Amino acid sequence: MQHPFHLFRFCPKCGSQHFIENNEKSKKCIDCGFVYYFNSSAAVVAVIENEKSEILVATRAKEPAKNTFDLPGGFIDMYETAEEAVCREVLEETGLQINSVQYLFSIPNIYVYSGFEVHTVDMFFRCKANDFNNLKANDDVAELQFIAPEKLNPDDFGLTSIRKGIEKIL
């Protein structure tokens, strides 16, 4: 797997072309001394069950993996906790208000956005909602449905980390 160093040719601080590989994790600008570390972006994933223990599954409305299954979630915004992010993402994508979150596990992923590979760490949370009356597919979700765990097929999930997460949950 190729590191994304080759995509960054100019120093983000001063714009110099003398932005060279410093080590396996960073590049350094010879002109201003700025060192940039390429770290994973943080993302969240919600595992939401209804009263029948069925899992809320989204169908992706956009690329990557358009028209495949997904779980609600997305990137953590600046100055936002992972718990705040999972509640915000669920509200944006489903209309549901989350009243409790419990961290489950994390899985590294590569999310292709605008033709660029974004390395992520996807943090999975079990989320509880008391009221499903406002459930509606919004944002980048085409459809929402509850599916019994025994009817879930990890191969129906288009993103690698979500597929691995479903395997782990099942």
- Tell me the catalytic residues: 143
The set of residues, in sequence order, having a beta carbon less than 8 Å from that of 71 and lying 6+ positions away, is 45, 46, 47, 55, 56, 57, 58, 157, 162, 165, 166
d(CA 151, CA 154): 10
Are 126 and 47 a contacting pair, CB within 8 Å? yes
